[in-house]
Chains A and B, each alone.
Chain A
Amino acid sequence: MDKRAKILEIIESVSKKKIRPGPDESLFDSGMLDSFALPDMVTGLEEAFGIRIPDADLNPRKFDSVQRIEQYLESRL
């Protein structure tokens, strides 16, 4: 499974809804995810991509859209 597909799977899993966000669509401002889904999504990304995201990187803006998540992961992988 490619990176984007994995990310979309995690987003759908934590939102508990069938959603398909556009690459640069805000996951939070659009209402697809609420604030409390954010920690779950970050944990899901850590598990799926085998990384540990340090607290200093836990800035919601880094995880606001599929594209931004991809950019962050590229900086870490």
Chain B
Amino acid sequence: MSYLAGFGAALPERVVTNEELAGQIGKTAEWIRNMSGIEERRWAGPETSVADLAVAAGQDCLRRAAAPTSEIRLLLVASGSGERRFPGPASEVAARMGLGETPALDVPIASAGSLFAMVLANDLAPKWGPALVIGAEIMSRVVASGPVEPGVAMLFGDGAGACLVHPEHGKAKLIGSKLASDGTFCGDLKLEADAGLTMNGRTVILQAARKIPRVIRQVLATAGVRAGDVEVYLMHQANQNLMDRVADALNVDRGRFFSNIVRYGNTSAASMLIAAAQWELAEGFRPGGMVCLAGFGAGFHWGAALAEGV
């Protein structure tokens, strides 16, 4: 078991409101708000890369955790929107952060990628040393690259989040986790090499609404923690309506699910860590306080983790 030593985030400056987007996708601003809970999102400029956002989030995380770059022994970068088929952004991020020859691993899993990377880091850190986990996405470019349904185009924003997983100390101890994958519906949310992003929203929502509460319950049951005893749920910011349904399924107040989707939209693999970074600034861990992290996305890949404040 390792520790969460801190979080960080980076967001592009440009704000794209529903009013601006509505005309482009042939819908109204109100429709976007009702279908997703989103009012605005951030879009990166053409000169910004996924690695740019990842580096900024990684540096913010290390600064906030008061951890020197020289301490990092492993880098994991989750992204589904890297500019290249290979190499992924991880090695570039490592080089630009001054990590020398530190192993840098790409986790090309959209949406749930940062959760997967964080849970892997939890297991790897005791052997390798402190691990920096980053989720970074420029989804606006993915949406712009091909024809995309209005209900999909409205969702996405750009940004990056990061967390430091330390084997010896931190603000919270990771006390449980479960990851899962099922490719039965892998064609229902996909970005193919030469085609645009496609999503069968009904399948995604139906599967997510069942799998997320179930995996959270499994993690909590293993740790002997009740859903109502968790202080905050930091979930992939997919869609406000989905987060509300997950809260309802767990029979916990919807307010327990930290949400920033109204301002940033769905930033795919970055969203859970951006949410964590903002929640940490606003509230943060307290000794004994339980925090549950969860994600779900293309694949499908999904999972949950439980952290206890120290």
Q: Is B200 in contact with chain A by the CB < 8 A criterion?
A: yes
Query: Shortest CB–CB separation between residue A33 and chain B, in angstroms?
Result: 10
Query: Shortest CB–CB separation between residue B1 and chain A, in angstroms?
Result: 29
Are B201's CB and A35's CB within 8 A?
yes
A35→B200 CA distance, assembly (Å): 10
A39→B204 CA distance, assembly (Å): 11
Are A35's CB and B202's CB within 8 A?
yes
Chain A residues positioned under 8 Å from B201 (CB to CB): 35
Are A39's CB and B184's CB within 8 A?
no
Chain B residues numbered 167-186 whose CB sits less than 8 Å from any CB in chain A: 182, 184-185
A36→B206 CA distance, assembly (Å): 8
Chain B residues positioned under 8 Å from A28 (CB to CB): 202
Q: Range of interface residues on chain A? A: 10 to 19
The segment out of B8-16, B66-74, B207-215, B276-284 that lies at the interface is: B207-215
Are A39's CB and B210's CB within 8 A?
yes
Chain A residues numbered 34-65 whose CB sits less than 8 Å from any CB in chain B: 34-36, 38-39, 42, 55-56, 58-60
Are B184's CB and A38's CB within 8 A?
no
Chain A residues positioned under 8 Å from B245 (CB to CB): 36, 39
**Which of A34, A36, A55 interacts with B207 by CB under 8 Å?**
A55
Are B205's CB and A38's CB within 8 A?
yes
Chain A residues positioned under 8 Å from B222 (CB to CB): none
**Interface 1/0 per residue, B192-227 and A, CB below 8 Å:** 000000001111011101110000000000000000
Chain A residues positioned under 8 Å from B35 (CB to CB): 34
Are A55's CB and B205's CB within 8 A?
no
Chain B residues positioned under 8 Å from A55 (CB to CB): 182, 184, 207, 210-211
> Contacts A36-B242, A36-B245; is A58 near B207 (CB within 8 Å)?
yes
Chain B residues positioned under 8 Å from A42 (CB to CB): 206, 210
Residues of A participating in the B interface, judged by any CB pair closer than 8 Å:
28, 34-36, 38-39, 42, 55-56, 58-60
Residues of B participating in the A interface, judged by any CB pair closer than 8 Å:
35, 182, 184-185, 200-203, 205-207, 209-211, 241-242, 245
- 30 CB < 8 A contacts A-B: A35-B201, A35-B202, A35-B205, A35-B206, A36-B205, A36-B209, A36-B241, A36-B242, A36-B245, A38-B202, A38-B205, A38-B206, A39-B206, A39-B209, A42-B206, A42-B210, A55-B182, A55-B184, A55-B207, A55-B211, A56-B184, A58-B203, A58-B206, A58-B207, A58-B210, A59-B185, A59-B203, A60-B202, A60-B203, A60-B206
